[in-house]
Chains A and B, each alone.
Chain A
């Protein structure tokens, strides 16, 4: 080197130059690496910001009834939305700050943050007042109240803040997860970054949210006109035009297209032909009976998506690949759920709207647009899937009308002989109609009926009462511990007597009752199966089971008429005869023979202990728990520690009609029909049961479900034997619909004791001021019905096509109360075309009856 460049200075210059050249080379290499090696990847990263996505709205699936009538659907409407920053107060603060900046622009740069905040605070009240006034104006224009708006605001605020907190938690977890990969401990720097992340804003905190749903079109248009208007504020109060601010009249207002969920068949007026009613109610004309809230408990309603909604969707996505494949698409930042819930979305929260939410919910479309080329990629929206019910809404309405107190069958009548409730008191209960061939539910009515709005309010009141009770209880416990007087009165809440609580479930599947005599049909079958009874055997009705004890375990005929079935029939009872006459002794005997284990197994075989979870609210599973033989004996006639739901009863008789093949009932027609399951019952036993059910309805003398006896006023009527009387009795068959064949079974099940109510509906007090209690009976009637044999019955005549179960709470006799209702249900089946309509022949007007006799 020294020889080449003799001058040290120049050598040193070369050194400097070379060093610099090396640095330049390193820079150029790294530049090359970034642009050539990683260039593609980095360009994609940079261009990812070029794309933005827009959602395309979709529609929710409809719910259709059995005949394709639309019972739930979306209707297009306008919603009123307000930008979140106005709701949270951020708008006012931003406006005040901008105004302060504008007014104090020259010195703004030199002010400290604290001084800037002070200036902002000085002008903030004016903007806050404007926002407050805007809310009032909005309430006025839209016809709501300030309080309602304030409530909605609070809900939106809490929802979005909760969402932000969740998102921040997710970010935090992601950060920590990524950090964990590096294997380092958390340093103060990382802590600071975590803190900063925890205050980051999410998109929902900068977008509009719906405050008022489904406003009428005129209001929507009026608000649209107001949305463009501005007004002048004077935050300094000086009146100087230079220090005024121009702001929108209604800041953050947006009128959005939307949809609201409608239920066209919610309330229907049903025309009832009063000619088929029992004599005291009969009339020649039809009458319009309102059926309120038809299907409203089954359909449910929509509300803000709950954590459960989100979890259900997430679980379904994880467990069902087909579903997951349908709902996900490639978004800008990875896979997205096109049916995901955005703020302001509604989801089904009760009933089938909730149970079928994942299928009803439509998938939004997404348009991904590139800002530079304006090219777009579009995923079209997919409307939600329709859900088809097996229920016929008009049949459901007719059944509900039949059970309406207005019509009269469901209020306490004289012929009910109800000793527990005052005359005219309304009766509530449930009715189920099943299609025998398919196991589909045609109707599933629970009374009292109520509209969706009424049910929601009732639910709110129930929650309030539960909370109040809990708070009071907690306060009392605390007061006891601190040995001081409690500050809240005790607020005990009994949901069993709260009419609001009654609206929270469907009695057909959500409440369990003592079966009473209706369960005798299955006891017979199970006793035959267990070998505890042979069909050839006849058992004597001795009036009371225990020889030495005539006051317990008695047959009803002994209790009322001091006679026995063996006496009235003249011989010991066969199984069909025992069923037709509903002999208790016969079935106490079977119960004793089955024993504690056998009787429990018998009920369990028929589904007691398993509920029918259709998604229409709480499900009752029924209960069977015998501990000693005495209880087992009682359970032979459906009393004692056993309960089941009306659906259990209908399911049981439907299975019998199928010859012992069980098909699980369902209310939604999904793709997979229920698998029939042969219960392995003896066909001759089935025959015997059907014969017994036939006898119950058609045996005029012994059948408990054949007729009702009415006592009518009659003055000076001369009887055949020459005596006069002031009353006469009239007997009418329960079933008077021509062209149909009905067989069935009554049940009068002893229920829990209740307070005796006076005519005013309030409890009657005795001399000591205590309430008087009384033990009522639940009234049951199960039936199988089909077109009658006859010249013009058509094909399929003689088959039993539909199973009906009716249960009326605390109503008394099965035949007297539930029987006529069951008759009206048969009439309803004819009206809706499920049974043939046949011209009525001359109606039997009833025959005078002997004093003895009656229906249990």
Chain B
């Protein structure tokens, strides 16, 4: 123990060179504070919204006047904060060393979820998806770990390579992505699986892959999309059908397959510009029975309670988090740090956009939550870890040797 404490400065500074003063190693004032503060505000908003949703469903108030679930969220948020602070301390180059082991563990856990013989006491299916490992008071979702491990691995892989400038060089990355994505899709959890693509795309974009290669791939994917429709599970097909019906203005579906979507939109609209009061919101939620009000559809609760202002504030706070990560990437000279920030930012950005999009009727309902705001132990731990990593990159000045990278010229 004392050995660790002795080594702590080294770990933090990432160097055993005691000569260099802390300020030259650590950058206290940095862009990641934006992300950190946004994360905190979003978490608070989330706890209040979850509390409202839980009270509407009839939950009793516990300590601090919060419903039990909201309290759990607060506890996990504090744990997440602690985890963030812990992971922010060691220099990120040390963390890079954990990338491959972390990925291996994540993949093993993902495979474990899919093994046929596992009893339901360990892997409890939820809504038909085998995505959680039951750990007593809480559930642990390996796909969340996979997200972070994936970003670390890809960032580490692309750090000093240039293959991604060629089309062929993109293939190994594709295969690398396909492993976790494929395993997650088998759960089946289509929502989480689709988040990996924007992250990879953003990382490739930032790392300097050629725009026309990327455009080609994206176009091909969009064309191939409809061809994948027959391979979807029935409930997944239902959601796509429901969205199409919505766009067609078909009201007959409001009673069943579009119930969730229409109710969310109704409640968002009912919030108006500034929202209805707490009691009215609770009553409306109670009587309009919004499913998943505390996780997938929590933005509807926010919009109901605080109106357009509140919903836009939440969206802008998420955008601020992403901005903070991007600014950190911009100010970081070291390639690993750059890509990590971009990759994590992409995850949060995509998740926010898709979640809000499905609540307001622009996207089909998929089972993903709003980062920081939605209820979910693994989810909030993971995004706070991401915040911690971004803060890590922002905090630590890159340790030489490194060279600026991803500064390609078109000919290269």
Report A's interface with B, CB cutoff 8 A.
7-10, 12-13, 15-17, 20-21, 23-24, 26-28, 30-32, 34-36, 38-39, 41-43, 45-47, 49-50, 109-110, 175, 178-179, 182, 187, 189, 193, 196-197, 371-372
Nearest-neighbour CB distance to chain A for B58, whole angstroms, equals 15
Cα–Cα, bound, A763→B226 (Å) = 90
- Is B270 interfacial (CB-CB < 8 Å)? yes
Q: Is the CB of B252 within 8 A of A34?
A: no
In the bound complex, CA of A372 to CA of B406 (Å)? 60
In the complex, the answer to whether A17 meets B326 with C-beta atoms within 8 Å is yes
Q: Given A24-B353, A45-B266, A372-B280, check contact A35 B206 (CB 8 Å).
A: no
Q: Which of A21, A27, A109 has the largest count of B CB atoms less than 10 A from its CB? A: A27
Query: Residue B40 at the A interface, CB < 8 A?
Result: no
Q: Give the contact stretch, choosing among B47-55, B65-73, B171-179, B315-323.
A: B315-323
A-B contact pairs, 28 of them (CB 8 A): A12-B205, A13-B206, A13-B329, A16-B202, A20-B349, A21-B319, A24-B315, A27-B353, A27-B356, A27-B360, A32-B308, A34-B269, A35-B268, A35-B272, A39-B272, A42-B270, A49-B288, A109-B120, A109-B124, A175-B252, A178-B252, A189-B238, A189-B257, A193-B255, A193-B256, A196-B256, A197-B255, A371-B287
Most chain A CB inside 10 Å of its own CB: which residue of B124, B270, B312: B270
Whole-angstrom CA separation of A821 from B362 in the bound complex: 88
Output the least CB separation between B293 and chain A (Å): 13
Determine if B181 is an interface residue (Cβ-Cβ < 8 Å).
no
With A9-B330, A30-B361, A34-B268 given, can you name 14 additional A-B contacts, CB distance below 8 Å? A8-B409, A9-B407, A16-B346, A27-B362, A39-B273, A42-B268, A42-B270, A43-B270, A47-B284, A50-B283, A50-B287, A110-B119, A371-B283, A372-B283
**By DSSP majority rule, is chain A's interface helix, strand, loop, or mixed?**
helix
B241 close to A (CB within 8 Å)? yes
Complex contact B312–A28 (CB within 8 A): yes
Q: How far is the CA of A235 from the CA of B265 in the complex (A)?
A: 46
Asked whether A178 and B284 contact (CB < 8 A) given A9-B208, A31-B268, the answer is no
B357 at the interface (CB under 8 A from A): yes
Q: Which of B206, B252, B280, B315 contacts A28 (CB 8 A)?
A: B315
Q: Is the CB of A42 within 8 A of B362?
A: no
Residues of B in contact, count (CB < 8 Å): 62
Which of A12, A47, A179, A189 makes the CB contact (< 8 A) with B270? Answer: A47
Q: Across the interface, which residues of B come within 8 angstroms of A13, CB to CB?
A: 206, 326, 329-330, 342
Interface string of B244-273 (1 = CB under 8 A from A): 000010111101110000000111111111
B-side contacts of A197, CB under 8 Å: 255
Residues in A whose Cβ lies below 8 Å from that of B270: 39, 42-43, 45-47
For A31, give its contact among B279, B311, B330, B407 (CB under 8 Å): B311
Q: How far is the CA of A45 from the CA of B251 in the complex (A)?
A: 14
B279 to chain A, nearest CB (A): 7
**Top 7 closest A-B pairs, CB basis?**
A42-B269, A46-B270, A49-B287, A43-B270, A110-B120, A35-B308, A9-B406
Q: Which residue of B lies closest to A7 (CB)?
A: B407
User: How far, in Å, is A91 (CB) from chain B's closest CB?
Assistant: 22
- Please measure, in the bound complex, the distance between the C-alpha atom of A46 and the C-alpha atom of B346, giving whole angstroms: 35
Known A-B contacts A17-B326, A27-B356; A38 and B406 likewise in contact (beta carbons under 8 Å) = no
Question: With A and B bound together, what is the CA distance between A35 and B284 in angstroms?
Answer: 16
A39 to B308 alpha-carbon distance, docked (Å): 10
Please provide the chain B residues from 320 to 360 with a CB less than 8 Å away from any CB of chain A in the complex. 322-323, 326, 329-330, 338, 342, 345-346, 349, 353, 356-357, 360
B307 interface contact, C-beta 8 A: yes
Taking CB atoms, residues of chain B closer than 8 Å to A43 are 269-270, 272
Indicate whether B408 reaches chain A with its CB closer than 8 angstroms.
yes
Assuming the contacts A30-B360, A110-B121, asked whether A12 and B206 have C-beta atoms less than 8 A apart, the reply is yes
| Docked-complex contact A16 and B319, CB < 8 angstroms | no
Contact partner of A26 (CB less than 8 A), chosen from B119, B250, B316, B362, is: B362
State in angstroms the CA–CA spacing of A33 and B133 once bound together. Answer: 40
